[in-house]
Structure 1
Amino acid sequence: MNDCRYLTYLRGRYRFLSGHLGYLVALVGLLFLVPLPLLFVFPEETPLLGGFLFPGLGLLLLGGLLRACAKVPEDSLLSLAEGSLLVVLAWFAAIFAGAVPFVWAGLDWTGAVFESTSGWTTTGLSVLDVAQTSPLLLFWRSFMQYAGGAGLAILMLSAMTGPTGIGLSAAEGRGEQLVPQVRQSARLVLRLYFGYLLFGVPALYLAGMSWFDAVNHAFCALSTGGFSTRVDSIAYWNSPAVEAVLMLLMGLGTLNFLTAYTLLKGHWRAVLGNGEVRVAALLLPLATAVLFFGGAFRIYPSLPEHLRILLFQVVSALSTTGFQTIVFSGGEDLGYLVLILLMLIGGGANSTAGGIKLHRIYLLLKGLRREALEASCSPREQCEEGIWIGGRRRFLGENEIRKAAEYVGLFLFVWLLGSCALTAFGHSLRDSLFEFASALGTVGLTAGITGPATPAGQLWVQIFGMLFGRLEFFVIFWGLAKLVRDMGAFGPRPVSRKDS
């Protein structure tokens, strides 16, 4: 393909991408209008109206213009690189627009971007004083987490018409489909997600929360986000019933949507054989036992209360939710270590959870087992490992293990790099390792070094950690690499001897 034809092709593709980007941007704009009915309940919050209307209507207008000016062929599909670029641009738009309500309320720009990033990426770290924050902004934080947990690509795919291929959903880490048709799969994910909410809100209300608290905490538990309406987070209620409901909701949020769909279809054997379920079933009691017998966080007088609090904190860390019932302080090195490991591992793939993901840990364990078996097998024997994906069992490929190992290595490298950056702001290495594991794993537990007085430089380090952790590194690399490469194609051409 010569240069002119290639540039014509690129222009056509970018007109095509502009149409889909317009769809995503307009969708984000609509989300800004969701909190506004609360003004009828909290009329004193009316001064904050502009903080939602201006970015919401602005994104709707921009999305409409992009959609109107673009050429979107009905039969064209998105590649993974194109889907990655759309996802990166849409997330940047959502994060910066999502900061506007906080700036409107008086927060500085860096803090507002941090809060917005923490919301959309379902992290839960915060620089706000919750006791002084308006109910409208508290609801907006929680709703951002609920929408971010579903994923902008899934929201778009469930609403749009025409084929788009798997490129868009795969770019947000949702490559596994519940059913073969991509759009139908996205709609099934949203139905499951909304069904969880319909159960969670009344359950939390019956457990002792107000309706407002129940809605906010259901949003944040299902999205494995962790924002709370109370300064003391879940410790405010000190209620076994509230904690039991939240643990169930966190479990649903961290469960692979494909596994949940398989469970609803009654394929128990596939669910019980699922590697993510097995690893989680091993980690939860093991981590709780280590914390208990190691004497970590032994600040509760009774044995049942101590076990309950430890179990809740383990579920909160592994699911990457970040609800806290413990105030972390010095002298608990074992507790810090266990929670850091859980935050790094994270929850299920194709779920709302962050971290490395249980599926990758399971693949590495399978790979180690195969290596051990091959060492003891005769040269004529082949050692094949099988894994359950949804309701079917298939053999494990070497390429899957390699990709999992590459991602784990990159994740741990970035974690160590970010932790070193936090130590440069004067924090201890232990606190830095904990805090950046929380940011990169999109967890939200804090050692107390993130708050209203946190330096802007530290906040930007954590912002990048949250964004990279939510979009899983490669999506950002693919999207930005495509953009830079294509911009280079549109740039000035070097003059050759033949041209001169």
Structure 2
Amino acid sequence: MINIQPISNVIGVLLIMVSIMMFLCIPFGILDGFRDAEALMYSGFITLGVGLVSWLYKFKSSASINKREGYLIVALGWMFMSLASSLPYIFSEMNVSSIDSLFESISGLTTTGATIFSDIEGLPKTLLTWRSLTQWIGGMGIIVLTIAIFPLLGIGGIELFVAEAPGPTSDKIHPRIQETAKRLWLLYVGLTAFLFLLLMAFGMTGFDAINHALTTMATGGFSTKNDSVAYFTNPAIHYVLILFMFLAGTNYTVIYFGLKGKFKNVWSSEEFRVYLIFTLLLILVVGSILYAHSLYGFEESFRAAAFQIVSLMTTTGFITADYTTWGFGLTAIIFILLFIGGSAGSTSGGIKIIRHLVLFKNSLLEFKRLLHPRAIIRIKMNKKLVDGKIITHILVFLLLYILLFLFGTVTLCGLGIDFKTALGAAATSLGNVGPGIGEVGPVDNFGWFPGSVKFVLAFLMLLGRLEIFTILILFTPYFWKKA
């Protein structure tokens, strides 16, 4: 039997937190001549009121959460947060429609970075800050933050962490789940603050620096400029963002060990080694091709290659160059990157490196099993045996991911979108990347799509951000049957 009370209580807490974030944006509106300050104020009070009612309704401090309720909280929590996050756009002076507002809010919270706005620089600073903050909220997952304060509510949070944490990793910084969530967020906040200071030091204004710091660590990609990061011509800014995008796409457990000086633990991670080596090799190949074709100078070739590769592979989505002009071969490579993703346990979306690694290892061992059918041959990761259930879970995930990509592409084509654009839009939405190919390339936006297409893409964004199973499990009869 599903217990409604803790679901209502936790969603209430999430909405209260979202309202607090809205109020934090109001000072930017005051500094910008009060543009849209009222929009955030109205939205904040509405969200706060709904959140308080949901939190206080028949609250019981002894309520517990099982797996069913955990999945419901994650799915419903993101849906309610998306609806609440759309309010500032609806009340804005920009007169954004309901479907466009919902699309922008889901794109923000899922850290996809696809936008319906064509003139970013014309938006009020209040709204720009809210766009960035939604990505920062969604980056690590506001639900993980809630887990850190669950002891105050008397509610256990392990089921929520399982449902929310991106990727199939089981690494723990600390054996207690609440302590893990706290340390993850301290690390997240600390890296964001450090990046803000660096961007300021290299010439960004305070407003641009805080917005880009928020969206970089979230691997989100919302920018304050129409030309994204290409607006900033200082190479130092590009290199700093490359480094921090790479870090944001790294398993936070690995980052934590690195900061603690436990470099042996860092290098012992197979996923991190593959992530690092694959990224460097790809930069070397693409950079060499760009230089060989005289598209850029030597340094700029490798900087452009590094920025676009790291940005797309970590699903950040910032751009400094229009990669669709690099030729069909390099564009094909870029398109493949939309399916890679960063590390498990990071803020990036996509399939994740570890799943590709397990698939690759299992495929190689399958040939060995064919030669030795009676032998028991197991996969190892980080010198530890991988449980058969995890392998099955990963294979099913990959199959569902491909089917959803095909479903999205076919659906978009059926709604009148050309095939190339449908491919790019479905891939970038499901992978939470932002830019794609076709008419959703790095210099395009999603505002021209009809409402039905935006709805489909928003659904794909949620599926991708919540690792597919969290949403699809709600549509199975097994979920609703009594245990």
TM-score under structure 1 normalisation?
A: 0.87
CA displacement, residues 396-436 of structure 1 (integer Å, 9 cap, x when unaligned): 12221111111011111111221223334554433322222
Of 378, 381, 386, the match for 1:387: 381
Corresponding position: 1:53 with 2:41: yes
Query: Where does residue 5 of structure 1 map in the other structure?
Result: none
Corresponding position: 1:26 with 2:21: no
Q: For 1:402, give the aligned amino acid.
A: T
Query: Where does residue 168 of structure 1 map in the other structure?
Result: 160
CA displacement, residues 178-221 of structure 1 (integer Å, 9 cap, x when unaligned): 21211111100100000101210010111221111111111111
SS at match of 1:35: helix
CA displacement, residues 366-399 of structure 1 (integer Å, 9 cap, x when unaligned): 22233344455695x64443323xxxx5211222
Query: Where does residue 125 of structure 1 map in the other structure?
Result: 114
In 2, the alpha carbon distance for the partners of 1:266 and 1:371 equals 38
Q: 1:141 to 1:313 in 2, by over 3 A?
A: same
Corresponding position: 1:99 with 2:93: no
Q: CA contact under 8 A between 1:86 and 1:479: conserved in structure 2?
A: no
Give the C-alpha shift of residue 437 in structure 1: 1.3
In 2, the alpha carbon distance for the partners of 1:325 and 1:250 equals 14
For structure 1, the residue ranges without an aligned partner over 5 or more in a row are 1-8, 490-500
Q: 1:341 to 1:80 in 2, by over 3 A?
A: farther
Out of 366-375 and 146-155, give the one that drifted further: 366-375
SS at match of 2:346: coil
1:111-190 alignment, distance < 5 Å: 111-128=100-117, 129-161=119-151, 162-174=154-166, 176=170, 177-190=172-185
Give the C-alpha shift of residue 163 in structure 1: 4.4
Q: CA contact under 8 A between 2:291 and 2:297: conserved in structure 1?
A: no
User: Which of 1 and 2 has greater Rg?
Assistant: 1
Give the C-alpha shift of residue 241 in structure 1: 0.4
Query: Where does residue 492 of structure 1 map in the other structure?
Result: none
In 2, the alpha carbon distance for the partners of 1:123 and 1:188 equals 25
Q: 1:80 to 1:352 in 2, by over 3 A?
A: same
Q: CA contact under 8 A between 2:110 and 2:135: conserved in structure 1?
A: yes
Out of 211-220 and 263-272, give the one that drifted further: 263-272
Out of 475-484 and 77-86, give the one that drifted further: 475-484
In 1, the alpha carbon distance for the partners of 2:56 and 2:299 equals 61
Q: 1:40 to 1:131 in 2, by over 3 A?
A: closer
Q: CA contact under 8 A between 2:358 and 2:391: conserved in structure 1?
A: yes
Q: For 2:84, give the aligned amino acid.
A: A
SS at match of 1:285: helix
In 2, the alpha carbon distance for the partners of 1:373 and 1:267 equals 36
Q: 1:412 to 1:480 in 2, by over 3 A?
A: closer
Q: For 1:325, give the aligned amino acid.
A: T
Q: 1:32 to 1:480 in 2, by over 3 A?
A: farther
Give the C-alpha shift of residue 41 in structure 1: 2.0
Q: 1:297 to 1:71 in 2, by over 3 A?
A: farther
For structure 2, the residue ranges without an aligned partner over 5 or more in a row are none
Give the C-alpha shift of residue 70 in structure 1: 2.2
Corresponding position: 1:83 with 2:70: yes
- Give the aligned length: 469
Query: Where does residue 281 of structure 2 map in the other structure?
Result: 286
Of 42, 50, 68, the match for 2:56: 68
Give the C-alpha shift of residue 459 in structure 1: 1.5
1:45-444 alignment, distance < 5 Å: 45=35, 48-74=36-62, 76-105=63-92, 106-128=95-117, 129-161=119-151, 162-174=154-166, 176=170, 177-292=172-287, 300-329=295-324, 332-375=327-370, 379=374, 382-388=376-382, 393-444=383-434
SS at match of 1:44: coil
Give the C-alpha shift of residue 269 in structure 1: 2.5
Q: For 1:205, give the aligned amino acid.
A: M
In 2, the alpha carbon distance for the partners of 1:282 and 1:163 equals 42
In 2, the alpha carbon distance for the partners of 1:377 and 1:262 equals 39
In 2, the alpha carbon distance for the partners of 1:36 and 1:156 equals 23
Q: For 1:123, give the aligned amino acid.
A: T
Give the C-alpha shift of residue 471 in structure 1: 0.9
Q: CA contact under 8 A between 2:335 and 2:436: conserved in structure 1?
A: no
Q: For 1:24, give the aligned amino acid.
A: L
Q: For 2:457, give the aligned amino acid.
A: Q
In 2, the alpha carbon distance for the partners of 1:150 and 1:204 equals 21
Give the C-alpha shift of residue 138 in structure 1: 0.8
Q: For 1:360, give the aligned amino acid.
A: R
In 2, the alpha carbon distance for the partners of 1:284 and 1:243 equals 16
CA displacement, residues 417-458 of structure 1 (integer Å, 9 cap, x when unaligned): 212233345544333222221111101114343333332222
Alignment RMSD = 2.5
Q: 1:61 to 1:297 in 2, by over 3 A?
A: farther
